[in-house]
Amino acid sequence: MNMVKKLKDIGELKLLSWIYSKLGEQVRSRDDVVVGVGDDAADLKVERTKQLVITVDSLVEGVHFSLDYFTPSDV
């Protein structure tokens, strides 16, 4: 039985390592991936002369903010 893990329990870097372990070779072998899985962004070649940077980040309660001090709409 798989247990669901929470990001706050495993940490961002461990999650990224897990994702990279699953997709790493696919990402490394693609010509359209200029900079692959990293801390906060990937750089993709979308046309011969154009690149696209994609980024995502997360905010984890108890790590980056506390609801004791901020409302959900503040976050």
- Identify the CA nearest to 37 among candidates 22, 47, 50: 22
Model-level pTM? 0.43
- Residue-level pLDDT at 28: 60
Assigned token pair, 63: 């790590």
User: In the chain, pLDDT over 90 holds for what percent of residues?
Assistant: 9
Dihedral class, residue 63 (left if φ above 0, else alpha if ψ from -120 to 50, else beta)? alpha
Each residue's pLDDT tens digit, 14-46: 877 787 777 766 666 667 766 666 657 778 788
Q: What token pair was written down for 40? A: 């906060």
